Each structure stands twice: as structure tokens, then as C-alpha cells.
Structure 1
């Protein structure tokens, strides 16, 4: 959900986590933090004493800053290499076991939200390998670091605002659940639990799906299943709608017509008939009465793959704004379903 699958490789994340050092920062003395504390007091009724005491315990996490830096320019995107990291034998085997164990919860989620098991399982598999890699950073540390000391990038101001919002939600979530904010562990970007929800998403979209009276995305895979389904449903998932079909271009790759179609963004705005002028699909299963968007998956120096994507594909991109990510969820889910049928 945080885009980490795009920002850094698993190897980079593991290396950074192993080398992570938490340094004294005295965040409680920073001018920007004082302003944030004043805002939290005014908006939410916190006290200055409690917040200053909290920020006095926060550590600066330099590795989180470094992992937020964009990749060096010049290296072409490679869908096949990306896919190989996520659609691989271990995740497929673990996904089949997860599906078997939580089949009842997955069925219930599909009934309530319309999201099929293979998508929920595929997404949790891509995010954390079914709870194996949920992150070991204290969420308060990384959110505070990124909210007030984000690296110097073109999007620095916007990203700092985003993380300040998540820090606000983190403190509110801890207060609402009567928990110490420092008990929450997560990724280097502050994402939490099996589905890697940011604090704001936990407060808005997470559900108590196991019925125990609390939401726990770290220790309850059933809550994770229901929360993923609920999130996708809120963000445009449509019951029984297909996801994507492979396409073949009938126009040159750099044509204006093609560039216009690819520039529509995360939106299904064409009818199948409209797309036939630039691309076709060999699939006889592609309905003619729904909308599609044209998606390109670049393969480095090899040929680009093209797909007709529906609103459900784009719903996955609202979990993580990446075509590579959404297609990995789709592919991993399909492979896990196939493995179970064997």
C-alpha cells in the first residue's frame, strides 16, 4: 500500500533494516514538531506534556530516509524482473496453504464485499508473504523521521505533508485503542501488519472481521482478509467484473493515438470496440459491454506487454499506484488458485 515494492528491492529493504540505527534526534525540540504538537492539542485534545514526552522517545531512522530516495535514472523498467520477485514458487505454495487455512474467511469476504479470494490472497502475498515480512521498525520513529526530515527530492514537501498526516493518524489510533504508540511495528514507511495498511487507512478502512471486538492487522489474518476486501470495495471494486486481458497492438508503439490511450491514467474509459483501432485481444472472454483502459508493462529492452484493464484492475492500483504491482497481485492470485486446483 505504501509503494515500497517499487521504491526498493527486498534485498535493499532487508539490508537497510539490518543496518538501521536509531539515533537521538531530540524531535521534541524541533520547531516544526512544536507546531505539529500545537495542532494536535488544538484539533484532538492531546496535552503538551504527553506529546512532548512521546516525541522525546522518538528516534531518527536514517535508513528510512535513504530508502525513500528515488532509484537512479536511466535504468529501464522491467516487468518480467519485477514479476519474478513476487510471482515465485515460495509465495505460491505459501498462498495455497493460507487459502486452505482461511477459506471460510475468504468466502465470507467475497460474499460481503465482492472481492474474490485469489485477489485478497494475491495482495497479501505480494505485500508481506502472508505475514512473514511485516517490518520491524517502530512506526512512530519512521513516520516522525519522514514527516520532518524527508530526503531532498522533487516531491519532498508533498511527501512530508503525507507523512505528517499519517503521524497524526498514528497518534490518534494509539489513543483510540488505549495503546502505547511505540508498540506498533511496521515497514520503513510506516505500513502495518499483514496487508501493510498505513495508520490512516487502518482508521478508515480496517474492519474487525474475526469479531473479537478489536481490529488487529498484525496478529489477525482474518482481520487482514476483511480489511483488504473492504478497502478494494470502497475504492471501486465491482462484483463479478473481470480484471484484465492480454492485448496486441495494431498501431505503431509511438503513435499519437496510442500515447493518448496510455495517458488516460488509472481509468477504464474505452469500450472494447473503441480500442480495436489500436489494439486487439485474442481472449474470447473479454466482455463487450464494459469499459477498459490500455495498460503498458515495459520489459526493459524487450517488447512491452499491453493489456486491456477493467475498473477492478484500477481498483488494485489504488492500493499501490503501479501497474506492475496490480498485475503481480492478479498473476500471483491466479497462480495460487491454479496450484490449489492441482
Structure 2
């Protein structure tokens, strides 16, 4: 019995050590990261090891990645979590509060203000919740412990360390999402370094500043192919013998509207027949729901590659615009009453 107890205690301590007390400066997978930062970016080995030694493994980070809403919720449940009056009205208020800044961003980038607001609304509830995860812990945990996406997060960890140096941040003190995204617009470190912009012209980029976040979201979408004035998505009707083989993985448009019509998919909105689109199908307790997603839909999906996410952003943007128009009309009526 004593031997069993000692063995159990040893296994338990080993597990605790591997999950909560890992020294990532000594992790075998850290060698490449250390080499990259020292040979290509001017860090000393001691500096990098010091940063990595402050990172702790957090099991809840791995659990959150495995149980992301886009993976676990049906489309009906996912949609209902965002298309609610508080989120819609919050978006209308966001449009009103930052009307000038959103108009400037729309003019500069060609991205409608309601789309910018919807992304910020889905990501952080208009800045109301930007995440409480320690970003260094999150990125280190995912970089060295995630079973499939370690390579991606090792790259983001490197970008985060570079970003901290550029911004003058203490790496162990930054907070964000469980995936390491930061700010009102929830940019990953690589996107923060390359696509975030100084929207208010104060000489610094701060994605916790709404104006910088607004311009950065627009710049991000343009970088990923946003086309000013183009349609995002349309509902589709289908014939009984629709060709299911065209619904493959991915959201990048792959057939023209005309070709999709020949395969049994018909846009419920008038669009040019040579426009390329992707069939998007949602299937849960509400039954089948078909859409055609165009290039701008794909641009939104570069924020999050799940069709549920991109569609929730699009539908929320439409409802925000309607709610904003109603607010403006109510204000005009109130002013006109003698």
C-alpha cells in the first residue's frame, strides 16, 4: 500500500509540474523560438529565457480551445447568443457614439460602419469584455501543449514577444483572450504588428482605444480582400436534386452564381451571374438553411474561419443598421415635435 501511495504521489506531482509549473525556457520546443529571437531579432538568450520562464501552463486554456462556441453550439444556438436586443442596441449606440470616426474609416477603407461595429460587437461586446487570460500563459500553453496547432501558436508567441518589445510592455502582464488575442478588436500578435493602425493620429497604436480599433478592423478586412460596395451574402433556395458535392470545406468562393444555379442553388437576391460564391449550409433543429457567401463574406471569415462566426457578424451588422436607423428616426421626430 505504501508503494502504491508513493507511486500515485509521484504521478500526481509530475502532472502538476507539467501543467502548472512548467519552465518553458527549458522546454525542448522552445529551442527554435530562442534561436529565432536571438539570431534574427537581436534578443539575448538570457532575455528570451527570462520571458519564457514566467509563463505558466493553464489547462483551462486548452479546455477553452477544445470547447469553442463555434465548435460546440448549433447554428441556432450560436446565432441566438449574438442576435439579441442588447447586442443589437449596443451596436446602434456604438454607431451613434463613434459616428465621425466610423464615417472616416468607411470613407478611407470602404468597409461599412455596421460591419466594423458587428465585428467589435461579436468579439468583445463593443469593448465591454476584452479577456482576462494572461496572454503569455495562453500563447505558451498553446505553443507547447496544443496537440495540433502548436506550430501556429509558436509563431504567435514569437510575434508577441516582438510586439511587447515594440510597445514597451511587460510580456507577463498583458491580458486578452484564451487564444492570445488582444484589445477591443481582438487581434492576434502577428496581426497587431502588421495590420493594426493608428486611427486617431496620436502617434501610437492602442487596440484598447476604440478609434484605433475601428480603423484596424477596417484595415484588416481590406487586407483580406474586402470589396467596397459588394454584397456579403444572400439567402439561397435549392432544388430537390441540389448537388451537395459543391458544399466542401472552406469559405473561399469557388463557383459562379450561374454555375451554382445549374447545380440547384438560387440566390434570393438579384446578383450578377458571374460573381463567385460559396454555398454555406447550416443544418440543425431549425432544418436546412442555405446561403451564398461572396468575397466579402470570406473576408469576414479571415477573422475566424467558421461559417457560424462570419454569418453571425453579417446578420448582426444588418440588424445594427436597422436599429440605428430607427434611433435616428426617433430623434428626428422628437426634434420636429413643437
Query: Judging changes above 3 Å, is the alpha-carbon distance between structure 1 residues 163 and 264 closer, same or farther for their aligned structure 2 residues?
Result: closer
User: How far apart are the structure 2 equivalents of 1:85 and 1:71?
Assistant: 13
CA distance in 2, matches of 1:24, 1:141: 11
Q: Distance in 1 between matches of 2:151 and 2:31?
A: 15
After superposition, give the CA deviation of every residue in 1:136-155 in whole Å (9 maximum; x if it has no partner). Answer: 111111101111122x4xxx
Note the C-alpha offset of 1:208: 0.6
Aligned pair in 2 of structure 1 residues 81, 30: CA closer, same or farther (>3 Å)?
A: same
Q: Is the 8 Å Cα contact of residues 251 and 279 (structure 1) preserved in structure 2?
A: no
1:249 aligns with 2:238: yes
Match of 1:141 among 137, 140, 150: 137
Which secondary structure state, in structure 1, belongs to the residue aligned with residue 66 of structure 2?
Answer: coil
Query: 1:322 corresponds to which residue?
Result: 306
Is the contact made by 1:251 and 1:258 (CA closer than 8 Å) also made in structure 2?
no
* Cα separation, partners in 2 of 1:293 and 1:106, compared to 1, 3 Å: same
Judging changes above 3 Å, is the alpha-carbon distance between structure 1 residues 78 and 179 closer, same or farther for their aligned structure 2 residues? Answer: closer
TM-score by length of 2: 0.85
Could you tell me how far 1:163 is from its partner in structure 2? Answer: 0.5
**What is aligned with 2:188?**
198
Judged with a 3 Å threshold, the aligned counterparts in structure 2 of structure 1 residues 214 and 183 are, in CA distance, closer, same or farther, namely: farther
Q: How many residues are matched?
A: 306
| Matched residue SS, 1:59 | coil
The offset of 1:58, in angstroms, is 1.7
Question: Residue 170 and residue 302 in structure 1: after superposition, are their counterparts in 2 closer, same or farther (change >3 A)?
Answer: same
TM-score under structure 1 normalisation?
Answer: 0.84
Which consecutive unaligned segments of at least 5 residues does structure 2 have?
1-18, 327-338
Query: Is 1:309 paired with 2:298?
Result: no
Spell out the pairing of 1:291-310 with structure 2 (5 A cutoff). Answer: 291-298=276-283, 300-310=284-294
Cα distance change on mapping 1:146 and 1:76 into 2, 3 Å:
closer
Q: Which residue of 1 aligns with 2:259?
A: 274
Deviations 1:108-133 (A, max 9, x none): 11111111011101111011101112
Alignment CA distance shift 1:29-1:315 (3 Å): same
Tell me what 1:113 maps to: 109
Q: CA RMSD in A?
A: 2.0
Q: 1:265 and 1:162 mapped to 2: Cα distance?
A: 19
Retained in 2: the 8 A contact 1:245–1:286?
no
Q: Does structure 1 residue 161 correspond to structure 2 residue 151?
A: yes
Give the direction of change, closer, same or farther, for the CA distance of 1:76–1:160 in structure 2 (3 Å limit). closer
1:94 maps onto 2:90 in alignment:
yes
Pick the aligned partner of 2:20 from 15, 23, 27: 23
Of 223, 226, 246, the residue aligned with 2:215 is: 226
Deviation sequence 1:306-330 (CA, Å, 0-9, x none): 1122111111111110111111001
The 1:180–1:76 alpha-carbon spacing in structure 2 relative to 1, beyond 3 Å, is closer
Secondary structure of the residue aligned to 1:49 is helix
Structure 1 outlier segments of 4+, above 3 Å: none
Give me the whole-angstrom Cα distance separating, in 2, the residues matched to 1:38 and 1:97: 48
Aligned counterpart, 1:337 = 321
- Structure 1 portions without partners, runs of 5+: 1-21
Match in the other structure for 1:51:
48
Please give the secondary structure, in 1, of the residue aligned with 2:190: helix
